[in-house]
Amino acid sequence: MQFSDFSLDKRLLETVEHMGFTSPTPIQEQALPVALAGKDLMASSKTGSGKTLAFLLPAMQRIISKKALTKRDPRALILLPTRELAQQVYNQLRLLVANTQYKAVSILGGENFNDQAKALARDPHFIVATPGRIADHLSQKHLYLNGLELLILDEADRMLDLGFADQLKQINEAADHKRRQTLMFSATLDHDNIDDIAQTLLNSPAHVAIGESH
């Protein structure tokens, strides 16, 4: 299978080609059709299997092909457990948005709060963030998620390990509307609380699990 077999915008296919990729990895091959169809998804596959593009490509495609629900709210919010992981995802997202008119920012714990408030006031389309910091900005009304079209949780198991369940629920409630799509990615599904958070955040999700060894 090739990336060009999916209905992806020409600019996205160009960027993927520039990244040096021709064929999707197994998780990309399984997750892309589901996510591109607008369905909620709970996906697992091991580290290094290419999960990042499995959610960034459908997120970009949806934002490119659909009209925004609101004028100023972010359209996609991608949450990760740590600064380092968020930075890696942000770097890939920057390559994808560079070929379009869309703006992306990263909002990470440990960085200047006021600078982040200013960046949020410039109405980015995409936000890559750690949950605690984004919850703080929500509480301070530096952003609203009424227009959020995509909520993406990457490394969901580790976010739960780090005690972010309450922040995830707060973010979920701020973006609680029928037209939202939620994608949840994880290295494993054998975490005590993962079903609970999936029940709360996902709406009749499709399940994709690659290489489960049991």
Q: Which residues bind ligand ADP (CB under 6 A)?
A: 21, 24-25, 28, 47-53
CA distance 139 to 90: 23
Tokens of 15: 């960027």
Q: Residue 163 Cβ, how far from ligand ADP at the closest point, in Å?
A: 22
Rule CB under 5 A: say whether 51 interacts with Mg ion.
Answer: yes
Amino acid residing at 9: D
Rule CB under 5 A: say whether 156 interacts with Mg ion.
Answer: no
Q: Residue 52 Cβ, how far from Mg ion at the closest point, in Å?
A: 5
51 vs 133, beta carbon nearer ligand ADP: 51
Residue 62 is inside which H or E element, if any? helix 51-65
Choose the one of ligand ADP, Mg ion, none that binds residue 50, judging by a C-beta under 5 to 8 angstroms depending on kind: ligand ADP
149 vs 154, beta carbon nearer ligand ADP: 154
* Sheet arrangement for strand 181-186: 104-107, 126-129, 76-79, 150-153, 181-186, 41-44, 206-209
Please give the residue ranges that form the binding site for Mg ion (CB under 5 A). 51
